[in-house]
Chain A
Amino acid sequence: DIQMTQSPSTLSASVGDRVTITCRASQSISSWLAWYQQKPGKAPKLLIYKASTLETGVPSRFSGSRSGTEFTLTISSLQPDDFATYHCQQYNSYKWTFGQGTKVEI
């Protein structure tokens, strides 16, 4: 199975900060990588798919990129509503796997 290694597990930041979260795949997944935001007690919400395509309605301060098997989620200027947990997901095969999650806290 494809392993996804996400870092950091926790990130402390302030409003206005530029934030970067990384996910590394254990093998090639092309660009079949999605990012989700999850708030306590809620289901994950899709932010980005195909490594860099922004889901409709998601603010443009979110962006995604790929370099080989390393993927990055960037929040250009952190807003109060962005404090949440972020998950990456590979969907190169039907056996999806997720990263361990990154909690972005104040």
Chain B
Amino acid sequence: QVQLVESGGGVVQPGKSLRLSCVASGFTFSSFPMNWVRQIPGKGLEWVAVISYDGNNKHYADAVEGRFTISRDNSENTLFLQMNSLRSEDTAVYYCARESTRPTDYWGQGTLVTVSS
């Protein structure tokens, strides 16, 4: 059974950093590209970043380019999102999502990041 479990969210001050994790199980993690998607509470979905199955290719949304870094540890079946220089507009629920041809088939339950002084 495929499972994606995010952690690492919380309340952080503007300008600070936070690292999110997504632990995968129930499938061969190293075979799938992975994405981070966020959602401001009560609003729509926004794609954040994608990483290839081997970690060699990464792409970011313009809104986070240069501040966020996506990475993965295939030996630990874990996806990461390092978020630096956080802003109030980064406040959202962050989901990890497995990419397939459909284009995604599994999502985590999300972790809430609140950027506030």
Contact = CB atoms under 8 A, between A and B. Distances in A.
Contacts of B108: 43
Interface of B: 35, 37, 43-47, 50, 59, 61-62, 95, 102-105, 107-110
A52 interface: no
Nearest to A99: B44
Contact of B45 (A42, A44, A49, A91): A44
A98 B107 CA distance: 15
A96 B35 contact: yes
Contacts, number: 47
Given A43-B107, A43-B110, A94-B50, A87 B102 contact: no
A29 to B, nearest CB: 12
From DSSP, what is the main secondary structure of chain B's interface residues? Answer: strand
Interface of A: 1, 32, 34, 36, 42-44, 46, 49-50, 55, 87, 89, 91, 94-101
B63 to A, nearest CB: 11
A95 B59 contact: yes
A94 B110 CA distance: 21
A34 B50 CA distance: 17
B57 to A, nearest CB: 9
